[in-house]
Amino acid sequence: MTKHVTEACRDECLAGLGRAWWTWYADTGSVGVGGGRARHRANQGLLSTPAQLPVVSVVRDVESQLLPNVGAIVTCKVCSINSRFAKVRILYIGSTPLKSTFRGTIRREDSTSCAPCQVEVYKSFRPGDIVLAKVISLGDMQSNYLLSTAENELGVVVAHSEAVAQMVPISWCEMQCPKTHSKELRKVARVQPEFLQT
């Protein structure tokens, strides 16, 4: 490939994506671009005049990843708990499913409106629970979003008992297994109609 082809492809890539990185694959005649993808392939072989230069267009993915913002209501799944917090994976923002999950943390003091010294995380959440929570602090790719379930409308919406049955809420702090009738402690959400699926 001539220097003209490489420079033309580089200029097209940089114009389409700002300062994105680019790679020219001489063996296949294609251009790889970070943050997008090359739509057209260049002609293989030696090109000697600018009129013969290939046209390369770069397009971004149509759907960009939605990010949680402060105040957003998110649906998440509890991954693990300890005495200070519950680790979760954010699955939905409002009613919109995410292409990839985000990590979140529900601290003991943010799990209920009670005094933090009276709250025990294992009485609010268990691994596998599906929880409605509110984003109270933004994270980034290396850290977690801080979430709260302190409001009445927030908390556990789906939980399974040890008998692997979906439990039924019987109060704001308990759920019951329909098979064994055993009760388990949870911070139960009073789910609003907009979050119910029909």
pLDDT one-digit tens code per residue, 9-34: 455 444 444 444 445 454 455 555 55
Residue 147 within a domain: yes
Residue 68 within a domain: no
Domain co-membership, 95 together with 40: no
Tell me which residue of 65, 61, 45 sits closest to 53, measured CA to CA: 45
Domain co-membership, 92 together with 14: no
Give residues with Cβ within 8 angstroms of 181, minimum separation 6.
Answer: none
Q: Model's pTM, two decimal places?
A: 0.64
| Residue range(s) defining the domain that contains residue 55 | 3-59
Q: Is 167:160 a contact under the CB 8 Å cutoff?
A: yes
Instruction: Summarize the confidence of residues 166-172 as an average pLDDT.
Output: 93
The Cα–Cα gap between 119 and 131 comes to 17
Q: 111-161 pLDDT, tens per residue?
A: 887 766 677 898 999 999 999 999 999 876 667 899 999 999 999 999 999
Domain co-membership, 55 together with 77: no
Give Cα 48 to chain centroid, integer Å: 48
Amino acid at 181: H
Residue 93 within a domain: yes
3 state SS of 177: coil
Angle at 140 between CA 63 and CA 21, to 5 degrees: 60
